[in-house]
């Protein structure tokens, strides 16, 4: 599929490659890694999407919990980190299927998105800032 760059004025109808109404997020921002887009809904559904076609490569659902996903996901070291409001941080291996490889309970509310600095992961909860790394 060819890209539709350029144009002027309202190009909504003429430059859209695809549109989906079955998935989306209210707060978390989608992220991209190796020509795939990762989208986490507020309620914990995750889609790995081909950005050229809009089709799912895979999809999954995080375990149920006491909160929504407000933080945007982080990709670092070929893993996706997704923090949920109830303090759970999920680590997903970025392969050809949905696989949670780790779950961290920070035991405190998380709204902020995790960030990576050098070889460290920074996670801010309501009451603490954690640096996880060597």
Question: Could you tell me if 83 and 89 are in contact, meaning their C-beta atoms sit under 8 angstroms apart?
Answer: yes
Phi first, then psi: what are they for 62, rounded to 5°?
A: -70, 155
Q: Which domain holds residue 120?
A: 17-133
As a whole number, mean pLDDT of residues 70-98 equals 97
How wide is the angle at C-alpha 14 spanned by C-alphas 21 and 35, nearest 5°? 60
Which pTM does this prediction carry? 0.88
In whole angstroms, what is the distance from residue 79 CA to residue 92 CA? 5
Q: Is residue 11 part of a domain?
A: no
33 part of a folded domain: yes
The CATH number that applies at residue 68 is 2.40.128.630
pLDDT in tens, 113-130: 999 999 999 999 999 999
Q: What is the pLDDT of residue 9?
A: 83
In a domain, 68, yes or no: yes
Count structural domains, the chain. 1
**Average pLDDT score over residue span 102-121:** 96
Residues 6+ apart with CB under 8 A from 71: 28, 82, 83, 84, 110, 111, 112, 113, 114
Indicate the pLDDT class of residue 3, thresholds 50, 70 and 90: low
pLDDT in tens, 11-70: 877 778 888 899 988 899 999 999 999 999 999 999 999 999 999 999 999 999 999 999
Provide, for the chain, the percentages of residues in helix, strand and coil under a 3-state DSSP scheme, each rounded to the nearest 5: 5, 40, 60
Alpha helices (runs of H) in the chain, residue ranges in sequence order: 12-15
Give yes or no for residue 1 having a pLDDT over 70.
no
Upper half-sphere CA count for residue 107 (Cβ side, 13 Å): 0
When pLDDT is cut at 50, 70 and 90, the band that residue 103 belongs to is: very high
């Amino acid at each position: 599929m060819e890209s539709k760059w350029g144009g002027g004025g309202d190009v909504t109808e003429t430059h859209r490659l695809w549109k989906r109404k079955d998935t989306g997020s209210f707060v978390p921002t989608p992220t991209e890694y190796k020509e795939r887009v990762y989208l986490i809904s507020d309620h914990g559904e995750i889609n790995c999407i081909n950005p050229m076609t809009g089709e799912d490569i895979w999809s999954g659902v995080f375990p149920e919990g006491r909160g929504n996903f407000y933080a945007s996901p982080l990709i670092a070291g070929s893993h996706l980190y997704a923090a949920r409001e109830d303090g759970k941080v999920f680590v997903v291996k970025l392969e050809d299927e949905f696989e949670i490889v780790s779950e961290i309970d920070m035991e405190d509310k998380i709204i902020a998105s995790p960030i990576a600095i050098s070889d460290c992961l920074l996670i801010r909860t309501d009451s603490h800032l954690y640096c996880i790394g060597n």
